[in-house]
Amino acid sequence: LNSFIINNKDTFFSNATRSRIVYHVLQRTKYENGISKVGICKLINNGAYEAAFPPHEERILRNYQNISNKNNRHLLYERWARWGMWYKHQPLDLIRRYFGEKIGLYFAWLGWYTGMLIPAAIVGLCVFFYGLFTMNGSQVSQEICAAAEVFMCPLCDKNCSLQRLNDSCIYAKVTYLFDNGGTVFFAIFMAIWATVFLEFWKRRRSILTYAWDLIEWEEEEETLRPQFEAKYYTVERVNPITGKPEPHQPFSDKITRLLISVSGIFFMISLVITAVFAVVVYRLVVMEQFASFKWSFIKQHWQFATSAAGVCINFVIIMMLNVAYEKIAYLLTNLEYPRTESEWENSFALKMFLFQFVNLNSSIFYIAFFLGRFVGHPGNYNKLFNRWRLEECHPSGCLIDLCLQMGVIMFLKQIWNNFMELGYPLIQNWWSRHKIKRGIQDASLPQWENDWNLQPMNIHGLMDEYLEMVLQFGFTTIFVAAFPLAPLLALLNNIIEIRLDAYKFVTQWRRPLPARATDIGIWYGILEGIGILAVITNAFVIAITSDYIPRLVYEYKYGPCADRFTYICLKGYVNNSLSFFDLSELGIGKSGYCRYRDYRGPPWSSKPYEFTLQYWHILAARLAFIIVFEHLVFGIKSFIAFLIPDVPQDLYDRIRREKYLVQEMMYEAELEHL
């Protein structure tokens, strides 16, 4: 006590710190003689207690007259959790004092991410409006809309008929909204944006950790998990940091458990791929049915109906598999017996991210890079199991399917997450209050019993909150070249998400145990990995999925204006991008020629249906674009990361100044002692 200046013992520790001290004692107190008879967690698992949680401060009163009488919980509700505060900064210091540093860092990161989405959403909206305003002037769209005498080959074997090219006029215009000259610029911008976001977050984090006295905290205070101590208490090793003996996990046991865990991860990922394959088979099967549907609208737009039905079924499968993923990830993580709480959280978070990332994005990767790539050509189509013909892209391209898949999944998942985060707890809390005997008012109950009627925080802590936002970050960056409105949707969702989470923490959930943390944990490394993957996938989307490269090659090599370097045009591009097929070879009793999207020789050429020289030129241009794009963007990202220091210079000088003063004080004290 002599080392501290204590004016008031009742207020020296904050409420959050007192809760952590109490929990630390309860977690390590023996309740019976025995090695494993330790801690409140064990008693809860045995059923001796139903729950253990720190109580909230007093009830939220809505008619306070004097602001000095308001408790921290009411201040958080008034200044943070109310929906009318959506445009104001979050009271991070108050959040930290009430909920602890770990939750405070989460909301600091969420607020920083939301603020950084504003420029990304503005640029994405500008790219979208550029496509909207220039849509009617697009040469490609005009040629498709005017091609009334061009017939496309049947897209399925039995019920599909010849289709006029101008029937896809609307789809061509919609595709141009997401596939125009601004696409490449926006993809480069978002790759740089992701780097700037992460680099400036490191600076923001360093300021917060200094202000909250978290510098080098983790190495000093992190302790072993009770489960780890109980499992390996017979094997001890001297800790090289503390110099004291502690339980140790043998290397062979660790490797064995890790291999089992990795095998479980690969099994679940293979299950996801199997589910995606099942949806692909479904699309192939119902394709013929939609093409012969009785409703004229469905029959006319059967490809859109097939894609929409496939997206909805895929979303249902995603949500069903997510339930199983959480339980399996929990079992695999406990099987590994992580040494510390942070190791457990990092291991569990990595598994959940891998599961859900593959679950959400596998179907999108299929549409972006595999749909329509291996179908063959009329008269020699490739078939799945020698029965079902592989699905082709729409005459206007595959990008419309990719946009539909991303938009529907992103929109439905955000609605579902918001309902589960707020709607479900509201219903549960209403039902809990309804079960209380009549005549007993909440005001007459003790605070702990009022809190007992609230919903407990997820046992995984903030993992679900981080996971939702990190997956959204992936949607916002990985395929942004195909969906420039993704940052805007993410921004609108996050504005709601901050206040929704605040309202949930303050009013609908029991108060979580305050915890300390120095950063957002493994999530930062995952965000960096997503940023790298985003550069690669956007390069492939622009080069392979969109028609940007074929149009570019046509402009400079095969177009009518290729010789005039002062003027570039796409006149005749649509006719150039379609190959001919002799209908008499189909045996359907029709003569003439139909067209299909490919670069193959016509039936009257010396090498009918073989790839033309233009195909190989386009392929070479695509590969060159991928290499140039990746190297250029990665170079810019690395240069920006080098320019932006992790710690602001003034803060760095302040930290060094404090260390210098401490050394001087110790030196003076030692001299005085001598």
102 plus 204 within the same structural domain: yes
Clarify whether residues 88 and 237 are in a common domain: yes
For 3, list phi and psi in degrees, rounded to 5: -85, -5
Instruction: Tell whether the torsion through CA atoms of 443, 447, 449 and 453 is positive or negative.
Output: positive
Residues above pLDDT 70, as percent of the chain: 88
Beta bridge partners of 381: 376
Residues 280 and 417 in one domain: yes
What's the confidence (pLDDT) of residue 116? 93
Whole domain around residue 663: which residue ranges?
A: 647-674
Same domain for 181 and 321? yes
pLDDT band at 222 (very low <50, low <70, confident <90, very high): low
Can you give the pTM of this predicted structure?
A: 0.84
Pair 124, 240 in one domain: yes
* 120 pLDDT more than 90: yes
On whether residue 310 sits in a domain, the answer given is yes
Q: Each residue of 315-361: pLDDT tens digit? A: 788 878 877 888 888 888 888 888 887 788 888 888 889 888 888 88
DSSP tag of 423: I
Query: Within a domain: residue 17?
Result: no
Q: Identify whether the C-beta of residue 391 lies closer than 8 Å to the C-beta of residue 372.
A: yes
Place of tokens 């001598």: 674
Same domain, 655 and 524: no
Does 630 share its domain with 651?
Answer: no
Instruction: Kindly state the DSSP code that residue 269 receives in the 8-state scheme.
Output: H
Q: Is residue 550 part of a domain?
A: yes
CA 70 – CA 80 distance, rounded (Å): 14
Establish if 574 belongs to a structural domain: no
Q: Does residue 461 sit in the same domain as residue 500?
A: yes
One domain for residues 668 and 546: no
In a domain, residue 92? The reply is yes
Residue 288 has a pLDDT of: 67
| Residue 375 in tokens | 């179908």
pLDDT tens across 48-99, in order? Answer: 898 889 988 876 655 544 444 567 888 888 889 888 888 888 999 999 988 9
- For residue 613, being part of any structural domain is answered with no
pLDDT surpassing 60 at residue 441: no
Instruction: Say if residues 195 and 640 touch (Cβ distance below 8 Å).
Output: yes
Residues 107 and 245 in one domain: yes
CA dist., res. 435 & res. 153, Å (int) = 65
Grade residue 123 by pLDDT with cuts at 50, 70 and 90.
very high
Cα separation, 106 vs 96, in Å, equals: 10
In a domain, 579, yes or no: no
The reply to whether 592 falls in a domain is no
> How large is the average pLDDT for residues 244-250?
81
Model confidence at 439: pLDDT above 50: no
- In this structure, are 549 and 655 located in the same domain? no
Residue 370 has pLDDT above 90, yes or no: no
Give 150-185 pLDDT, tens digit per residue. Answer: 888 877 777 677 788 888 888 788 888 877 778 888
Which pLDDT does position 566 carry in this prediction? 44
pLDDT at position 541 over 50: yes
Residue 616 is predicted with a pLDDT of 92
Amino acid at 57: E
Domain total in the chain? 2
What pLDDT shows up at residue 438? 47
409 vs 660, which has greater pLDDT? 660
- What's the DSSP call for residue 585? G
What is d(CA 169, CA 80) in angstroms, rounded to the nearest whole number? Answer: 49
Do 630 and 667 belong to one domain? no
Residue 411 above 80 pLDDT?
A: no
